[in-house]
Amino acid sequence: MITDVLPIEFQELTGRVNYIRERMRGKEWSSSCPECGGEPHKNGDLPDRFRMWPHNKGGFAFGWCRVCGYKWSASREFKPTPEQLEQWRIDRLGKEERIKAEAEQAIKLLTDKQKWHYYYDSLLNNDSAKDEWAKAGIILPFWWNEWQLGYDEAHLFYFDTGKGWQDYTTPTLTIPVRDLTGRVVNIKHRLLNPFDGIKYRMEYRTNIEPVFIANLDDGKPAKSKVSIICEGEKKAAVTFITLDMVNVQVYGLPKSPSDEMLTGIEGRIIQVLDPDVSVSPRIKDIYKSRDYRVVTLPEKIDDMIVHRGLEQEHLIAIFKQAERQ
């Protein structure tokens, strides 16, 4: 079983945690818990109860188990030797090669099956699923087809509850997500009956960062001089539909997009922030040589469109007033 390399900051936990996975590149890892353990599910899903952050807000490595509440912090005296750092670097290089091979295998499986077509057909045959997408602000069947949105009436998930793995079945809305070239790299499920607050899960473990691309040209990102970036697929979709401008691109980004993804987005950047989010110093630094502007709204942009009646002229006015950073 392929697992990731334990971050150098957590070397004190060597032998005490297993099933290590990098959740957010360079920022967050998960594993079994050094206190309460955790084992894989029969389908291969790994325990992810213990979370590790190499650079916590306090400036030190910190770990926390969401099941038993165990907290771990690095010894203040721990300083890796040059030999440990070199071995960690070598292990990381090997891990990158394994991750690449694993990703390609998952992508091949995804491409061969093309399950997003199956989910799209399921949507067309289910009126309640159509109503769910309509309530989200994506009403016209044209867009369901354009983005191959779909529905699964009974998708099976597995969750590590701390008292063993639990099978959980729920209807889901499905969204194919891509890389920046336009290639479909996964299918995102929106759980219509969330499990313990968990609303989203992916179909496959592809280890590839997903993005939603609203403006497609034969399955590829349409060229544009302006790129609007939002957090999440639904915000991007509803914004693009309402804006109705073929020369503008709208991206739905993951919560913590990588530097590589951010630099790969072309044109003038307008970022739409949620009400409780401030400008990221990291993103601001990445775009310091670009025309980068930010919009801050009192509500989430899709909620303002769906529930407050924002129309094209309102969005144009809002984006014209975006503050340059």
- DSSP string for residues in 148-159: T-EEEEEEEEEE
At 95-142, the pLDDT tens digits run 666 666 667 777 777 777 889 999 999 999 999 999 999 999 999 999
Question: Does the structure show a pLDDT above 50 at 2?
Answer: no
More confident residue, 180 or 282: 180
Q: Residues near 114 by Cβ (< 8 Å), separated by ≥ 6?
A: none
Out of 98-107, 162-171, 188-197, pick the least confident: 98-107
> Is there a contact between 237 and 252 (Cβ–Cβ < 8 Å)?
yes
**Bridge pairing between strands 150-160 and 165-178:** antiparallel
User: Residue 216 is encoded by which pair of tokens?
Assistant: 């497609």
Q: According to the model, what pLDDT value does residue 319 have?
A: 95
The CA distance from 318 to 122, in Å, is 37
Out of 24-33, 80-89, 224-233, pick the least confident: 80-89
Question: Does the structure show a pLDDT above 90 at 45?
Answer: no
Q: According to the model, what pLDDT value does residue 5 have?
A: 75
Q: Residues near 184 by Cβ (< 8 Å), separated by ≥ 6?
A: 110, 111, 116, 176, 177, 178
Tokens 């691109």 belong to residue: 249
Tokens 């001089």 belong to residue: 225
DSSP helix/strand/coil, 102: helix
Q: What's the mean pLDDT in 77-104? A: 62
pLDDT above 90 coverage of the chain, percent: 51
- Residue 182 C-alpha from the chain's centroid: 16
At 226-267, the pLDDT tens digits run 999 999 999 999 999 999 999 999 999 998 888 889 999 999
Out of 61-65, 73-77, 144-148, 314-318, pick the least confident: 73-77
Q: According to the model, what pLDDT value does residue 300 have?
A: 94
Give the phi and the psi of residue 175 in degrees, each rounded to 5. -135, 115
Question: Does the structure show a pLDDT above 90 at 187?
Answer: yes
> Is there a contact between 257 and 298 (Cβ–Cβ < 8 Å)?
no
Q: What pTM was computed for the model? A: 0.74
Structural domains of the chain sorted by starting position, each given as residue range(s) with its CATH number in brackets: 8-110 (no CATH), 114-210 (3.90.980.10), 213-325 (3.40.50.920)
The CA distance from 8 to 126, in Å, is 50
**Bridge pairing between strands 198-202 and 268-273:** unpaired
More confident residue, 19 or 78: 19
Q: According to the model, what pLDDT value does residue 93 have?
A: 59
**Burial of 165 from C-beta contacts in 10 A (0-12 / 13-18 / 19+):** middle
